[in-house]
Structure 1
Amino acid sequence: MTHVRGTVLPGTHPHQVRRRRRLELGKLLDGEAGPYILTDLRWGNGPLHVRYGGFASRCPGPDGTPVLAVARPDGTLVPDRRRPVFEVPERVTPPGFVTEAMAARDDGGSFPYRVERALHFSSAAAVYLAKDRAGRQVVLKEARPNAGYGQPDAVHVVDRFPLTANGKVDPRALRALIGAPPAPPAPAP
């Protein structure tokens, strides 16, 4: 904030400076290609995204291992839920640009998958278990361009999923698919 003899100069309040920078960045990146990130809200027509969640802080997860965390209003760290959908925490009133982007995000049902759960998250991609419109189980793998990996987006359709001894989908076996070429389509019956 810039003061001149006790007066705040117009446009120098930190909120105004951040807004101006966000708008400038949005204009620079307008029209640039970017990924569709299920957990994030795309802002504008470029690769700018917003997400409420943990990035560095950690707390014990349900099994006691450290997981990414968010702070409650009292400062208590709780696990970041990381669901495959953009969510605004209950305690947050989103700024106008977020509510505008949320209203603009409605894709009219054009996303052809129903995500059942997340299998893996990372800063470069996420992997989800989903069903396509025909009801087939698929694994969706986001690839986030410019995140250091540059792998193309991929959807792998598999006849069955590898299971652990207790009947759950085996994430280690699914991770073995990373980098594998897509399977050819099944022949028509």
Structure 2
Amino acid sequence: MGVGRTSNTGIQLGPMLALLVASQVPALLPLSAQSIGDRIRVTTPGATTVGEVTIVDDHGFRIREGEIHRSFTYREIARLERSTGRKSRWKTGLLYGGGAGVGAGLLYGALVSGACDALTLGGASQECAETGAEVAVVAGLVWGAAGGLLGTGVGALVRRELWTDIPFARADVSLRPIIGRVPGTNSMLLGVRIAH
């Protein structure tokens, strides 16, 4: 066997070790899932800030909130979220508006029944009860539909922003390449030094 050659009978650990190290490096890095231009919400122990990402590196990032630029390191952040857009609340508006309309219709029917009873001095309680029930059903349906329609319109106009969590490592991690010669051989050493 000459210098710089390896035996074909043995397993070469160098490439396997390099592959193992390379596969573990992403787990040690801060997950920079935020990209420049993303709208994010940063929660620190003292405040919550919402803005657009302008700079990202291994140690943190900078966001623009209006005309103000703020920098954050991963160590100081308690929670990090990305905006997934705004969503209308028309379904919620439909439920609240429709429910309020039905409730108002039922209340109106009860008031009609009570007013009828008072006007007849209790002499037509059966007829007043039937009239009140009919009015309650009709008013509940009509007002429920109208309230649902109004609630749907308001809910479509009122939009809320939805957020998803961005997982990240709180430690500052940096990678430095290691390139050198293995003493006594014609081999090169390639590796990565991970510094916290």
- Asked if Structure 1 and Structure 2 have the same fold, meaning a TM-score greater than 0.5 normalized by the shorter chain, the answer is no
Larger gyration radius, structure 1 or structure 2: 2
Structure with the higher helix share, 1 or 2: 2
When the two structures are superposed, what TM-score results if normalisation uses the length of structure 2?
Answer: 0.21
Higher relative contact order (CA 8 A, sep 6+): 2
TM-score, reference length from structure 1: 0.21
Report the structure, 1 or 2, having the larger strand content: 2
